[in-house]
Structure 1
Amino acid sequence: MHPKGTAYKSGFQLKSIIPILITFLTCAYFLYTWAINSQSSNILKSSSNNEDLYRPDFNLFKETDQVSYTDLLLDVPATSNGWENNERVLFLVPLRDASEHLPMFFNHMENMTYPHNLIDLAFLVSDSKDDTMGLLNKLLKKIQNSNDPLMPFGEIEIFEKDFGQAVGQGFSDRHGFQAQGPRRKNMAKARNWLTSVSLKPHHSWVYWRDVDVETIPPTIIEDLMSHNKDIIVPNVWRPLPDWLGGQQPYDLNSWQESDGGIQLAETLNEDSVIVEGYPEYATWRPHLAYLRDPYGNPNTEIQLDGIGGVSILAKASVFRKGAHFPAFSFEKHAETEGLGKMSRRMGLEVVGLPHYVIWHIYEPSDDDLRHMEWMRQEEIRQSKAGEIKEIYDRNIEAGFQLIEYPSNLYGVQHPNEVTLNGFLNYKHEIELKLIEKENLFKQRRRYFEEMLDDEESSIKLKAVTTLASLEKFKHKLEHEENIN
């Protein structure tokens, strides 16, 4: 106990409060930091388990004409009955010097049964010298301004870009072996370019179609979509003139891989591109086109490794995942066949329908044109030969009629009825007739001997045959004379 009157100074009042405050604030800071880190860890852990994913609230932002927001957390659905689920289809059409085929193409478009308002069109016009662009705009305006409310399509985009395609548009130019590699790589660039500028987040399906398809079901999109595959193609044939067989497989780019194809690929350099249907590349692959049965089930599916580009329906997610048309040698393939190979490598399902057929137009090759010219010349030759044959046949027929031996010559009906005087008269007349016919034989012989100098082998044959016939009839008459 302190003595009274003693004064003590307490240091607790100031010196002790400051360290306590510092300690308290430090602890609070660490607690706050720990809580934040713990919450962030829980969010990341939840995200990794695909549970309670973070979803931004776009209502916090004001959408304007210049700014749009799309939630890409979940891909748009692509189902087997997309027409019932309002699934949008991006319809892609590459065009080059296509004015000849555009009217036919738009006739098919008008007849399509998939809801037109759910189909967005995108055209790429490239390396064209004709009026493809002008006619395309004209036909689009016509169909979009139709009085039928179900006729107009959805969004329409036209792009124009040249890729330096030097290969001609003729059948033999496009399908010549030497042109295949460079041509296919250039086409792949065009397809990739069109896909990248036209595919939107709201598209569920992508449908590629060539402009020169002659016959195709109006339900083509629904028919292919109903299989609900990542990528699906129909069988493609083409009609032929009767003298060429009537019909023929067209698209040989849809196939299943073979041991021969794999072995061939191993022997080629890294920039080579294998193309089907050419003796230079014998792959022995099963082609979709040759598996067709006209009476088969059109819904039959087979797995494919390569696909053709005449008509392709694919889920939009295929391209969003990174699949594309290789403009380089991918496993020794490019463009559509390369897309098939790449998609299979990515684990996607690629199928074809062997008994579901669409028909490409017939384009005569150089060989076809040469054969048609030969047929024209042959028709002219046969026509002239027919006229000559008719003249000679008339002359030959007339010659045989003159030497025909009548059964009732000079009223004598039968040897038993002939009297002596009648028989002598009959013999005399026969002798005169033989003299007359001998002169005729000589004239005819000279005529047909002149025919032997003719260059036409068929005429020579006629002459030789006729001379032999004349000799035969002459001997017959002489024999009958001796009998009489």
Structure 2
Amino acid sequence: MKPEKLFGRDGGPFNISSNRFHPKTYGSSLFRQKGARIASVIGLIFIVFMFFHSSFFSAVEQIPSSLYTMKDDPSYHYKEYDLRDLMNVKFTGDYSKSGHILICAPLRNARDHLTIFFDHLRKLSYPHHLVDLAFLISDTDDDTYDSLKSKLEIIQKDDDPKVHFNSAVIYLKDFGALVGQEFSDRHGFAAQGPRRKLMARARNWLLSAALKPYHSWVYWRDVDVETAPETIMEDLMRHDKDVIVPNVYRPLPEWFGTTEQAYDLNSWSESETALQLAETLDEDAVIVEGYAEYATWRPHLAYLRDPNGDANSEMSLDGIGGVSIMSKARVYFEGCHFPAFSFERHAETEGFGKMAKRMGFSVVGLPHYVIWHIYEPSDEDKVIIAEMEKERKERETAEREAEAQAHRAQSATQRYNDNGAEEGPLAHGNDHSS
């Protein structure tokens, strides 16, 4: 294979000036022409610089001023970040010293959930000017993109400036997802390994594109959360842990016989049984919780909930779920990520928890601090719902028919009574007395 040549302006392997072979008598003229061209270029650069001067500095001012330094000499314009501050990030209630938060939200066919998600965003108590929003839309066939743009424009142009976020960005990247978005598609056992690895890739792309040196915290949030406290970010940050998650439940319809159910089983502490199981599996295998195929007997954050328990109680975790994750940015800056491969037989958020723990970071969950995921019917639920709907319609039809029969019977009785009153013996009683 021939090496690639570097071509000059004349198409040859060298950059040859047309003035190179001119007679020496033209030297002074050429010098003057060259000087004029240089002066023209310098003048043009100066004009362009002055034109964009104000916009240049206004763009720089959008970055937190405490996190960069601008030299007085215009020739030394640059941003300076003291990343040492990230090692000691701690929320004390003083927002000005708490740093910026990056909220990351991966999206796929999420149009129907964006209304409630943006309602949550609008109500967040953490100062919005310290929050950046980042969205990654992937493998979507609905109008998530248009809906997201519309809602971002609404919230960023709100009449109340306190509602505006510091910035918002949308990223588009497909990963070739083959798993559907129905509840049973996403939660079926066979789909879990490939799905988790693909989701890890999406999270890593979003994080790598959006994370900036001035971010102190990163908050991951699923858009299909139904109920969560407005103070959730501060509530999690106050624990001063490197990685922390709340408990996640979901409400259930009355016909379930109970009103609630543990939703996220991906937050757990390791067990000896699970460690032994991992040793028997292929190196690419991914253990997933809540399936009979992998009996791990791990303590799950979800099952340790006490409705009357202390919301600040902590539980040390090894794996975590991805519905709501608060983490310090230094966790990612130091190299921890969402494994898109089998890391200790786990991937994505559970693998992230494992990796963070392996790197010496604190990973905890709050068993009694609960947020609520929306209810999504499984295929089995849909069968039951369809049967219940069929029974309801049959019952309503029978009730309407019974009412119609009763009405017809009442009408017949009324007609009989009316006729009897007009033509019966009592109607001609005076005829006998005459």
TM > 0.5 between the two?
Answer: yes
Assess if the C-alpha contact under 8 Å between 1:326 and 1:339 holds in 2: yes
**Deviations along 1:349-372, whole A, 9 cap, x unmatched?**
100000000000001110001011
Match of 2:163 in 1: 151
Distance 1:318 1:66 in 2: 30
Assess if the C-alpha contact under 8 Å between 1:261 and 1:284 holds in 2: yes
**Deviations along 1:386-429, whole A, 9 cap, x unmatched?**
899999xxxxxxxxxxxxxxxxxxxxxxxxxxxxxxxxxxxxxx
Match of 1:109 in 2: 121
Match of 1:224 in 2: 236
Match of 1:79 in 2: 90
Which runs of 5 or more residues in structure 2 are unaligned? 1-67, 405-434
CA shift in 2, pair 1:376/1:60, >3 Å = closer
CA shift in 2, pair 1:60/1:136, >3 Å = closer
Matched, 1:378 2:391: yes
Assess if the C-alpha contact under 8 Å between 2:70 and 2:77 holds in 1: no
Distance 2:128 2:76 in 1: 25
Match of 1:118 in 2: 130
Distance 1:383 1:141 in 2: 46
**Deviations along 1:152-184, whole A, 9 cap, x unmatched?**
001222111001111111100100000000000
**Deviations along 1:433-479, whole A, 9 cap, x unmatched?**
xxxxxxxxxxxxxxxxxxxxxxxxxxxxxxxxxxxxxxxxxxxxxxx
Distance 1:145 1:312 in 2: 28
Q: Which amino acid aligns with 1:329?
A: S
Matched, 1:68 2:79: yes
TM-score under structure 1 length normalisation: 0.66
Give the match's secondary structure for 1:318: helix
- Aligned pair count reads 337
CA shift in 2, pair 1:113/1:337, >3 Å = same
Distance 2:255 2:87 in 1: 50
> Which aligned pairs between 1:94-243 and structure 2 lie closer than 5 A?
94-243=106-255
Q: Which amino acid aligns with 1:120?
A: D
Match of 1:278 in 2: 291
CA shift in 2, pair 1:359/1:67, >3 Å = same
Distance 2:341 2:245 in 1: 23
Offset at residue 70 of structure 1 (A) = 3.1
Offset at residue 210 of structure 1 (A) = 0.3
Q: Which amino acid aligns with 2:117?
A: F
Q: Which amino acid aligns with 1:259?
A: E
Match of 1:468 in 2: none
Aligned with 2:277 (options 244, 248, 264): 264
Larger radius of gyration: 1
Match of 1:310 in 2: 323
Matched, 1:344 2:387: no
Give the match's secondary structure for 1:129: coil
Distance 1:126 1:373 in 2: 32
Match of 2:27 in 1: none
CA shift in 2, pair 1:269/1:212, >3 Å = same
Q: Which amino acid aligns with 2:250?
A: R
Offset at residue 275 of structure 1 (A) = 0.4
Match of 2:340 in 1: 327
Give the match's secondary structure for 1:207: strand
Distance 2:75 2:153 in 1: 29
Distance 1:288 1:130 in 2: 34
Aligned with 2:305 (options 284, 292, 295): 292
Offset at residue 259 of structure 1 (A) = 1.3
Distance 1:179 1:104 in 2: 28
Give the match's secondary structure for 1:150: helix
Offset at residue 382 of structure 1 (A) = 5.3
Give the match's secondary structure for 2:86: coil
CA shift in 2, pair 1:309/1:386, >3 Å = same
**Deviations along 1:73-111, whole A, 9 cap, x unmatched?**
553642122624141101111011111010110001110
Distance 2:143 2:336 in 1: 33
Q: Which amino acid aligns with 2:86?
A: D
Offset at residue 381 of structure 1 (A) = 5.0
Distance 1:256 1:330 in 2: 16
**Deviations along 1:35-85, whole A, 9 cap, x unmatched?**
xxxxxxxxxxxxxxxxxxxxxx97779568985343445536421226241
Give the match's secondary structure for 2:306: coil
**Deviations along 1:196-250, whole A, 9 cap, x unmatched?**
1111111110000001000000000000001000000000000110111221000
